[in-house]
Amino acid sequence: NAGVTQTPKFRVLKTGQSMTLLCAQDMNHEYMYWYRQDPGMGLRLIHYSVGEGTTAKGEVPDGYNVSRLKKQNFLLGLESAAPSQTSVYFCASSYRKGLAGDTDTQYFGPGTRLTVL
């Protein structure tokens, strides 16, 4: 199993450009998440999905859109990039059993380092 993979690993954009970050997981997980990590601020949840075809806003959703057309993929889009979106983006997934046990353990991808000039 590859676990959680993210593409691309690095990207430089100019202000106003658009791009899509792809997250894929091969663990048949129901839940998927997009976070951003900034120095001194920890990880903050952007959007998440509790299943195929569903998405929900997290703590910092403005300027981002997401789609979960297939269970294994979760896409994060930036329609008009801004310098404030310079960050490291992490995708994660979890398999929520709903019963006592290994619920909610998150598995993370290696991250995408995005710079917006």
Partner 1 sequence: KQEVTQIPAALSVPEGENLVLNCSFTDSAIYNLQWFRQDPGKGLTSLLLIQSSQREQTSGRLNASLDKSSGRSTLYIAASQPGDSATYLCAVRGNQFYFGTGTSLTVIP
Q: Which two tokens mark 102?
A: 């290994």
Q: Which of 4, 23, 32, 66 binds partner 1 (CB under 8 A)?
A: 4
Please state the closest distance from residue 67 (CB atom) to partner 1, in A: 19
Please state the closest distance from residue 60 (CB atom) to partner 1, in A: 11
Using the rule CB under 8 A, is 89 a contact of partner 1? no
Q: Which two tokens mark 87?
A: 């960050």
Q: Which two tokens mark 55?
A: 């998405």
Give the DSSP letter of residue 52: T
Q: Which residues contact 97 (CB under 8 A, 6 or more apart)?
A: 103
CB 93, CB 99: distance < 8 Å? no
Chain Cα centroid distance, residue 92: 7
Size of the residue set binding partner 1 (CB under 8 A):
25
Binding mask 10-49 for partner 1 (x = CB under 8 A): -----------------------x-x----xxxxxx--x-
Site for partner 1 in 90-109 (CB under 8 A): 90, 92, 100, 102-109
User: Do the bridges between strand 65-67 and strand 56-57 make them parallel or antiparallel, or are there none, so unpaired?
Assistant: unpaired
Binding site for partner 1 (CB under 8 A): 4, 33, 35, 40-45, 48, 58-59, 90, 92, 100, 102-111
